[in-house]
A and B are shown apart, each in its own frame.
Chain A
Amino acid sequence: MELNEWVFVGAFLAIAWTFPLAPILANYFLAPSRPSRIKRDTYECGVETVGDTWVQFKVQYYLYALIFLVFDVEMVLLFPWAVAYNELGMFAFLAGGVFILLLLEGLVYAWRKGALEWS
């Protein structure tokens, strides 16, 4: 019967975007619109924009995202384990414990290598 519940979620998703859209549209019709060249400039603290917005970013951001991804996959795999945990024996604890300690090892490696430092 859970499909009925999902119908609600689907309806929610279908309707939800109208809530933020309505005030934005209302604003569009109510507010004055007097665009000028300077007003529509990119605002970078009043200084003329120099060069491309596409400045190359530090690899640091990418590294955080990668470590996060690994943890994310790991935690998602732990959810079924946690749900079934009450019905399982001590072996389940060992399985989950080894699983997560192995990953902690990765974190320790990242830590020792300085991949977690913000520079």
Chain B
Amino acid sequence: MTFIEEILREQLGLSADLAALLIVFGGVLVVATGGLLTPIITIWLERKVAARFQDRIGPNRVGPLGLLQTIADVLKLLSKEQITPRDADKVVFFLAPILMVVSVVTMFAVIPFSPLAIGADLSIGILYAIAVSSLGTIAILMGGWGSNNKYALLGAFRVIAQLLSYEVPMILALLVPVLLAGTMSMQGITEAQANIWFVFFVPVAAVVFFISSTAEVGRQPFDLLEAESEIVAGYNIEYSGMQFAMFYLGEWLHAVVICLLTAILFLGGWQGPLVNADNVIGPILGMVYLIAKTTLLYFVHMWIRFTVPRLRIDHLMAFNWKFLVPLSVFNMLIVAFIWKLFPAPEEPGFVAELPRALGVLVGNIALVAVTLSLLQGYATRERQKVEGLVDETLYDPRAPRVAASATD
């Protein structure tokens, strides 16, 4: 930053204020454009990967390997008429897709790409990201309401119930890295993972965060809002052309952002061998590491997307409130407790931090073991219930129907 400022001031003779202003706006443009362009690649990537999962070839006509497919799609959408329904609440209808994209793009402002490259290193960084993304809920509600369409409004209500519910385990899981790092700054959380990445000793929090943020994006297996094969598109049913594309863009960007956030919070962000702020190559290398980790997570994301079937809405809610929320609460308590049992290492270092990390890891493993055994017991009871139901009602009409009423 200072390097560019010097050029602006000394070579071009600008005043200090103007130079600072130009740098701010230039930074915003670079970060936002970079963020907005990622879906061009990820949409192609995802279509290719989906095709491989489903034993197809995927896009292969437009450009080499079909790389230009997304651009062709954008051009097609640009030529489509944007229809606003007669009865729509026109201003709200118009603003909804814009707010949707804004709510996701502004999250890029606090993403640390390397030790030096970060838009704004806020002291409340991660809370800022969560707060901004919660504005997307309002955009969905505006879209559903503005369309003046029963299905759109119903779809919006369903989505919001889902988004609100899954925000609870997401934030609870997020408290764990904040607690371990002792800061909410994204750069601070990354720096706290210099020796051991958080995912290695708080895997439960990492997995809960990844699952619930996948639900926040509303993708398979949590894509009840869309469910292309079952219901009409949901809250965005009345949208067409670029306005529809903006909702789509918001979703795809959000998918990238949650992978970025998971990489930063749990996989050490830009941390990796040979990264430090002092040499020239360090910052660039950090960016490469972060993108590599994000891509890896994005692949996992796609993997889940194309292999796990869609959940039913009551299962979706039960999974959140009766499984993820209690799990993340107990996880946080266990991590906090064990973290306090071990004294803080005198100075940072892999060996010094190892005992405490191992202790927390053991706690995590114990939690998983208990959870699995509870789940096994639950599954056994459910199975016996179903089997019992079949036996009693089919073969013995006088048998008490306790099992049937006990299914709730």
Residues of A in contact with B (beta carbons under 8 Å apart)? 2, 5-9, 11-13, 15-17, 19-21, 23-24, 26-28, 30-35, 37, 39-45, 49, 53, 55, 57, 60-61, 64-65, 67-68, 71-72, 75, 78-79, 82-87, 89-90, 92-93, 96-97, 100-101, 104, 107, 110-111, 114, 116-119
Contact indicator B85/A31 (Cβ below 8 Å): no
Bits for B144-184, please: 1 = Cβ < 8 Å to A, else 0: 00011111011001001100110110011001001100111
User: Interface SS of chain A: helix, strand, loop or mixed?
Assistant: helix
In Å, the complex CA distance between A72 and B171 comes to 8
B193 within 8 A of A: no
In Å, the complex CA distance between A118 and B29 comes to 44
A53-B149 contact, Cβ under 8 Å, with A12-B119, A79-B175, A104-B329: yes
Residues of B in contact with A (beta carbons under 8 Å apart)? 24-25, 27-29, 31-33, 36, 77-87, 97-102, 105-106, 108-110, 119-123, 127-128, 147-151, 153-154, 157, 160-161, 164-165, 167-168, 171-172, 175, 178-179, 182-184, 232, 237-238, 241-243, 245-246, 249, 313-314, 316-318, 321-322, 325-326, 329, 332-333, 336-337, 339-340, 344, 408
Total inter-chain residue pairs, C-beta < 8 Å: 213
In the complex, which residues of chain B have a beta carbon less than 8 angstroms from the beta carbon of A30? 78-79
In the complex, which residues of chain A have a beta carbon less than 8 angstroms from the beta carbon of B82? 24, 27-28, 31, 33
In the complex, which residues of chain B have a beta carbon less than 8 angstroms from the beta carbon of A8? 24, 27-28, 109, 119-120
In the complex, which residues of chain B have a beta carbon less than 8 angstroms from the beta carbon of A5? 120-122
In Å, the complex CA distance between A92 and B102 comes to 38
How close is B352's CB to chain A, nearest CB, in angstroms? 15
In Å, the complex CA distance between A27 and B246 comes to 12
A40-B83 contact, Cβ under 8 Å, with A9-B109, A23-B242, A57-B157: yes
In Å, the complex CA distance between A35 and B147 comes to 17
Contact indicator A40/B85 (Cβ below 8 Å): yes
How close is B52's CB to chain A, nearest CB, in angstroms? 30
In Å, the complex CA distance between A36 and B80 comes to 15
